[in-house]
A and B are shown apart, each in its own frame.
Chain A
């Protein structure tokens, strides 16, 4: 456990316990508590990472492996956007605000635990906590869709946990300890023997199921589509990325995929990554529900991260980490915009919407920025991460993978253009006549995230320096 970051785990957890008591008769107090906790944490983290002296020193002063700090900041950023949005999105009385904010803060504490932990068992414990809070959050409102998504998620994620547990048991026999370092040392000494490869494969399989990579993607669209609107932004933006994809990236660096000792596993992970890029993008083309299309797009973007993690060279890991952050920013924006649409127009069915840009210009333009970043249009941040991933693939001689990844990036642009034309551009539909722009507080998180997207894109040299420190520390 990275002790320097322990406070970022404990304070949200403490607030989560406090909220039901303090805000018992005053639900508005729960809003304030949750937002203030996350804002304070985020400001603190930014001070830790972006002090002028730290930037001037090339980020060498960052404590621990710099990856935890970066991901904790991403967790807090998305968490703050979601809580701020929910404070103004929720109807009076429904749902139970105290329980809702307690759950969100608990899930943020659990995610902080996942990214700061140093051994497999703690990772498992926090991932289970995260999963349990996710089910409660998905079923926040009593719609039938939420319960259905939650049940599908439940019956795929817990068998995956059992597989991870068996893998951990085999690690206990062959490594004698469960810390990440013991696996790293073992992998760098000699060729791994059978049991270690088997255990790694089991754990990798479990995390691939949890991250919703293609043969195991059955739960992802249902859970995102069915859940309560701000919760789907929380889930798609950060929860499944931390509980599945982060662990895949971490395991890829621990197994040292770049030096070819776990060749077969690395190739398999890369193949699944490419498969989910392809299947996610093609399935997104023919969706009619806005949220479901975003969910398939999420599968496709996760494919890029998994592809880069499977390659495992320092450049690829840099691309994977950067894409993880970018995914958090643009997918949160898009899902929050879908929630705004749901509030203003009452539906997210793309066939019933149209010409919404006349009614909701801000929502329309933040969507445009987010989708251009997803598709990888320069100078937005998504361009740089995809560039890093494709360069890493080309450099390792995997030219077919590089070209296919590039081609499906164009398909990404295609389905987002279809979405934008159907929902925001074109003639005014009856839904657009009726609806008007949502209030400023509901727009603020999306505008903030767009600011982050543009800033990361324009200040890429500084961010590249940071990610380089990350790659140096976690790989070597």
Chain B
């Protein structure tokens, strides 16, 4: 079996796990963890693409930029989480229902 086929099988699996985690959990913290798993799958896809096309240098450059962005995104997500916890006293996603119509 081609090693890259296995790569992409695992990437699809990890991505599915991440989306399932986001769908099935009520806590914002767990949703954030699920989001992280999804973006890790995207990163693995990039590495695998770089290795497959013998272009690892390019993939590496892209990946490092992506990790930096990832850090900023996680920081923003945690900031939102903390602010929400201060306002509502809970991290339950179902409490977020004041805006509707």
Which of A150, A172, A225, A288 is packed against the most chain B CB atoms within 10 Å?
A: A172
Chain A residue nearest to B81 (CB atoms) is A151
**A378 touches B (CB below 8 Å):** no
Q: Is the CB of B45 within 8 A of A150?
A: no
Cα separation A152 to B99 with both chains bound (whole Å): 11
Taking a contact as CB atoms closer than 8 A, the residue among A128, A145, A170 that contacts B69 in the complex is A128
Task: Say yes or no: A173-B53 contact (C-beta < 8 A), given A152-B96, A159-B38.
Answer: yes
5 A-B interface contacts by CB (under 8 A): A128-B69, A148-B98, A162-B39, A172-B59, A173-B53
Cβ–Cβ contact A132 & B76, under 8 A: yes
Whether the pair A162, B41 counts as a contact (CB closer than 8 A) is: yes
Q: Chain B residues near A131 (CB, 8 Å)?
A: 73
Task: Assess A292 versus B41: contact at CB under 8 Å? Given A132-B72, A173-B49.
Answer: no
Interface of chain A: mostly helix, strand, loop or mixed: helix
Whether A221 sits at the interface, judged by CB under 8 Å, is: yes
In the bound complex, CA of A132 to CA of B62 (Å):
19
Give chain A interface residues in 154-174, CB to chain B under 8 Å: 154-155, 158-159, 161-163, 165-166, 168-170, 172-173
Q: A135-B76, A162-B38 are in contact. Are A169 and B87 (CB under 8 A)?
A: no
Query: Taking chain B's interface residues, is the majority helix, strand, or loop, or is none over half, making it mixed?
Result: helix
- Give chain A residues whose Cβ lies under 8 Å from the Cβ of B45: 165-166, 169-170
Interface size class of A (residues with CB under 8 A): 35 or more
Return the chain A residue nearest B48 by Cβ.
A169
Cβ contacts under 8 Å, A287 to chain B: 101
B26 on the A face (CB < 8 A): no
Q: Considering the chains assembled together, what is the distance between the CA atoms of A287 and B101 in angstroms?
A: 6
Residues 63-101 of chain B, each 1 if its beta carbon lies under 8 Å from chain A, else 0: 001100100110011001101100110000100101101
A147 CB within 8 Å of chain B: yes
B98 adjacent to A159 (CB under 8 Å): no
Q: What chain B residues lie within 8 Å of A161 (beta carbons)?
A: 39, 42
B101 partner, pick from A139, A168, A292, beta carbons under 8 A: A292
Residues of B within 8 Å of A151, CB to CB, are 28, 80-81, 84, 93, 96
- For residue B62, which residue of chain A has the nearest CB? A121
Contact A222/B99 with A159-B22, A166-B42, A172-B46 known, Cβ cut-off 8 Å: yes
Whether A226 is near chain B, meaning CB under 8 Å from some CB there, is yes
Q: Shortest beta-carbon distance, B1 to chain A, in Å?
A: 18
Q: Is B13 an interface residue (CB 8 A)?
A: no
Contact across chains for A158 and B46 when beta carbons are under 8 A apart = no
**Bound-state Cα–Cα, A73 to B38, Å:** 36
The reply to whether A158 and B99 form a contact with Cβ atoms under 8 Å apart is: no
Contact of B73 among A121, A158, A225 (CB under 8 A): A158
CB atoms of A166 and B15 under 8 A apart:
yes
Docked pose: A125 CA to B41 CA in angstroms: 18
A179 within 8 A of B: no
**Known: A165-B46, A173-B53. Is A154-B80 also a contact (CB below 8 A)?**
yes
Cβ–Cβ contact A176 & B39, under 8 A = no
Centre residue among A151, A166, A289 by max chain B CB count within 10 A: A166
Decide yes or no whether B35 CB sits under 8 A from chain A.
Answer: yes
The residue on A at minimum CB distance from B45 is A169
Contact flag A145-B39 (CB < 8 Å), given A165-B66, A173-B49: no
Q: Quick check: is B60 within 8 A (CB to CB) of the other chain?
A: no
Hey, which chain A residues are within 8 Å of B81, CB to CB? 151
Known interface pairs A128-B69, A132-B76, A289-B101; A173-B52 also in contact (CB < 8 Å)? yes
- Which residues does chain B contribute within 8 Å of A139, judged by CB atoms? 80, 83
- Complex Cα distance, B22 from A289, in Å, reads 30
The yes or no answer to A94 lying at the interface (CB within 8 A) is: no
User: In the assembled complex, which residues on chain B have CB atoms less than 8 Å from the CB atom of A166?
Assistant: 11, 15, 41-42, 45
> Apart from A158-B73, A166-B42, what are 18 other A-B pairs with CB-CB below 8 Å?
A121-B62, A128-B69, A135-B80, A158-B35, A159-B22, A159-B35, A161-B42, A162-B15, A162-B35, A163-B42, A169-B42, A169-B45, A169-B46, A170-B45, A172-B46, A172-B53, A173-B52, A176-B55
In the complex, per-residue mask of A132-153: 1 if CB is within 8 Å of any chain B CB, else 0: 1001100100101101111110
Contact call A150/B80, Cβ cutoff below 8 A: yes
Do A125 and B69 contact each other (CB < 8 Å), given the known contacts A147-B84, A155-B35, A172-B55?
A: yes
Known interface pairs A148-B98, A151-B28, A165-B43; A172-B50 also in contact (CB < 8 Å): yes
Closest Cβ–Cβ distance, residue B51 to chain A (whole Å): 10
Chain A nearest Cβ from B81, distance in angstroms: 8
Assembly CA distance A198 to B98 (angstroms): 38
A87 and B46 alpha carbons, distance in the complex (Å): 44
Choose among A121, A154, A172, A226 the residue that contacts B99 (Cβ–Cβ < 8 A). A226
- Chain B residues contacting A288 (CB-CB under 8 Å) are 101
